[in-house]
Amino acid sequence: MKAVILSEHGGPEVLRYTDVPEPAIGARDVLIRVRACALNHLDLWIRKGLPGRKVPLPHIPGSDISGEVAKIGEGVSNVKVGDRVLLAPGLSCGQCEQCIAGRDSFCKEYTLFGSTVPGGYAEFVRSPSVNVIPIPGNLTFEEAAAIPLVFLTAWHMLFTRAQLRPSEEVLVIAAGSGVGSAAIQIAKATGARVIATAGSESKLARAKELGADEVLLHGGEFAREVKRLTGGRGVDVVFEHVGQATWEQSVFSLKPGGRLVTCGATTGFEGKINIGYLFARQLSILGSFMGSKSELYSVLELFKRGLLKPVIDCVMPLERAADAHKRLENREQFGKVVLRIA
């Protein structure tokens, strides 16, 4: 089969379009004919290499996958050959205490397609049957691939971790990202007031189209503007994933008793905080990573009802994966960059 692989870490040029063996499947496995795979910042980190994360090389990236069922293994009954499906991106043991409790992202063996196991930059991918989910409604393969990781992450951040309520105000940092554009929609669907930031006026206009009530550029001391927009109070929840470049201003944007929830640090991992300010204002700093398969089903239900929609920046053929990486790395996108596998 055709695939894009990396045999060494480095820039976009290490991504190579080539022939590799088609994966074999076992019992309770499903072989997916991949039709689309969306990019995430994880793809960039895997390509560059991260300290402490060992990726078996050569490696096929790609966590957000949609396609058709090509083969099913013994014991598979939830899908059949020809079904249009998407894949829950997280893989876990399914047997430990956390998995049994429905907290699969806490499993010690938890990983993602395209992280330490082969991903979706390929014509075929092997998946456990438990990860295979019918595509809701009449979504295209490209739209379906744009959903799982970012919408699941945003849902887990806002509801499971930050306990967002309909009457509250939330600040979404970097609305142009996949997870930021998902967070705006999810927060609005629950009735919250949304303030969104972005790095350009064009991205702010797109954020307004998605439902943001107020928008502002996230350069400089944007916390002052957040306070102005909230009558001096600050927001109940800050949705963070940028990290070092916005961290301090994000903390200062919180009202007393507010919660900051973060799932990433695309600009750096060092974030300063005044401990006195933290306890005097009774703030909460919450980490968040992915979410459970059951939460993904909740997300997909809102797509069925038409309350959420995929946000696609552009679609490129698989052989242009390096160009897709460059677009994401340069922060030129609004929403998801998607690879189409013909």
Encode pLDDT of 191-245 as tens digits.
999 999 999 999 999 999 999 999 999 888 999 999 999 999 999 999 999 999 9
Q: Quick check: 342 pLDDT over 90?
A: no
Say whether pTM exceeds 0.75.
yes
What is the Cα–Cα distance from 149 to 289, expressed in whole angstroms? 10
For the stretch 44-84, pLDDT in tens is: 999 999 877 789 999 999 999 999 999 999 999 999 999 99
Binned at pLDDT 50, 70 and 90, residue 268 comes out as: confident
Q: What is the pLDDT of residue 295?
A: 97
Tokens representing residue 30 in the block: 């499903």
Q: What is the pLDDT of residue 93?
A: 95
Share above pLDDT 70 across residues of the chain, in percent, rounded to a whole number: 100
Unique residue bearing structure tokens 């943001």: 212
Q: Quick check: 182 pLDDT over 90?
A: yes
Q: Where exactly does CATH 3.90.180.10 map onto the chain? A: 2-147+310-340, 151-287
231 contacts: CB under 8 Å, gap ≥ 6: none
Report the DSSP beta bridge partners of residue 113: 117
Cβ count within 10 A of residue 95: 10
What would the CATH number be for the domain defined by 2-147+310-340? 3.90.180.10
Q: What is the pLDDT of residue 63?
A: 98
Q: How far is CA 227 from the centre of its chain?
A: 28
Q: What is the pLDDT of residue 172?
A: 98
What would the CATH number be for the domain defined by 151-287? 3.90.180.10
Among the listed residues 116, 110, 146, the one whose alpha carbon sits nearest the alpha carbon of residue 131: 110
Unique residue bearing structure tokens 């990573």: 289
Report the DSSP beta bridge partners of residue 59: 6
Q: What is the pLDDT of residue 261?
A: 98
For the stretch 278-289, pLDDT in tens is: 999 999 999 999
For the stretch 14-23, pLDDT in tens is: 999 999 999 9
